[in-house]
Structure 1
């Protein structure tokens, strides 16, 4: 694997979504500030990140089985096995993957852990989704945008406020994809919850933006795409070409879907 650039210093005094996510998944690659915030979050948050991770595995596997062998994963997070490249390269060892995240600690782990199969390739870029042109410019050095690419934006866009223009960012990225490509996206929602405003305020007070969106708002990210069955649904209900996930007695907090580029 080749890293895209040298990492910037890690800010250990401020929580970061990737490291809080790692804590909620039971990982060890976070700092006390991330753990402290994670411990204040409701138990439902741990359920949600596990469901979200399981959706990523199913969606990536579906894309690889559908013949897509190039993946652009934005908002990678701390590597947690199996990661996207392990899933898709088990299906197609020649698959090529570009990982992108804005947390420098992710880069350090990526250099050590995101190791490709000999036939394929993995690459990592430290960049923010708010700079989609930078991401695309680097991705084009690794991936062939004349052939289908799977764009993975898992549990990412709810960290962008409306003033960040999340729909414009998504459109810039999707518009760069050739026909036959796909977008796999999951997004936090409170459609099925009685909102715990105190918990949301605690999370936001850490300096992390958190913008839940309803189903219609999440569906806008897929405008112009052909939805893959079963469509935009709660994450535990999304599966295609595999047995259904085990039923869970938990409140849904994540919408998930896959759309194909015409």
Structure 2
């Protein structure tokens, strides 16, 4: 995308979009100049932002493969963003044909591109909804058509909860989805932290408040751990992105704290 002509309804051309910024970080094409300018400002704060985005994407793919190996065949990807190569349905359906995936996002551009990408795939769909209203997501016809809540479901919250303010109650949002899941279901999430690089996290938070559609609230390890209430974390627990079950060919960085995002996967036991 090179301009804002033909934008879907509801897009604010004067604000960088969280979804389009992430697309730009990953080298995608579904973003505008305003998004790339915001990513450039992010890069001035943290020069390895694109490396961080790729590490986050790699975790998502590792987590999906782990969940497929654990027997999961149903996925709900909350705040899924703009579809790019190696998305959840590609990874899951490649490993286990027939796996069902529901993407959820409130960004009109992300929804429009997801609809186009998923056209003709009967086992994957997109819901235009806001995760701040879990009941709307869970009652959406697309969710009810594809997801069997009598069988294990994996809910993915990948770099989405730090866009939820304390007043919007991220713990309550996770709990609402958790309570709709049967035992044996899963939660995978990543979340920005201010434990290791508080100045960087604060500067990025200000950038998103000033220039993007959603603010960023980085949280501590203990605060992010609390989001897993009702889930039992699998090894290695809640760790920096590159440390969660890296593939054999992946190099573990000398200082994982440079990746100021925690990652974890937990199983609902009751």
Same fold (TM > 0.5)? yes
Q: Tell me the distance in 2 between the aligned counterparts of 1:192 and 1:245.
A: 23
Does the 8 A contact of 2:178 with 2:230 survive in 1? no
- Residue by residue over 1:22-73, the C-alpha shift from the partner in whole angstroms, topping out at 9 and shown as x without a partner, is 1111111111211111110122322221111110000011101111100000
State the match for 1:31 in structure 2: 32
Q: How far does residue 229 in structure 1 lie from its aligned partner after superposition? A: 1.1
**Counterparts of 2:71 and 2:119, CA distance in 1:** 22
Greater shift, 93-102 or 200-209, is seen at: 200-209
Unpaired segments ≥5 residues, structure 1: 1-6
Instruction: Report if the CA contact (8 A) 1:192-1:252 is conserved.
Output: no
1:133 match:
135
Matches within 5 A, 1:90-239: 90-114=94-118, 121-138=123-140, 139-196=143-200, 197-207=202-212, 208-239=214-245
Q: How does 1:67-82 map to 2 (within 5 A)?
A: 67-82=71-86
Q: 1:75, 1:102 within 8 Å by CA — same for their partners in 2?
A: yes
Q: TM-score, normalised by structure 2?
A: 0.89
Aligned length in residues: 253
Supply the distance in 1 between the matched residues of 2:228 and 2:155 (Cα, whole angstroms): 12
SS at match of 2:102: strand
Q: 1:219 to 1:36 in 2, by over 3 A?
A: same
| Structure of higher RCO (CA pairs closer than 8 Å, 6+ residues apart) | 1
Structure 2 CA distance, aligned partners of 1:198 and 1:167?
24
Provide the C-alpha distance between the structure 2 equivalents of 1:140 and 1:43, rounded to a whole number of angstroms.
42
Following TM superposition, where does structure 1 have runs of at least 4 consecutive aligned residues deviating by more than 6 angstroms? none
Name the counterpart of 1:258. 265
Which residue number corresponds to residue 64 of structure 1?
A: 68
Judge conservation of contact 1:79–1:114 (CA < 8 Å) in 2.
no
Unaligned runs of at least 5 residues, structure 2 = 1-7
1:15 is aligned to 16
**Aligned residue in 1 for 2:5:** none
**Whole-angstrom distance in 1 between the partners of 2:97 and 2:145:** 20
Alpha-carbon distance in structure 2 between the residues aligned to 1:121 and 1:110: 13
Q: Note the C-alpha offset of 1:104.
A: 0.6
Distance 1:67 1:202 in 2: 40
2: distance between equivalents of 1:199 and 1:134? 30
Alpha-carbon separation, structure 2, partners of 1:227 and 1:198: 31
C-alpha RMSD of the superposition? 1.7
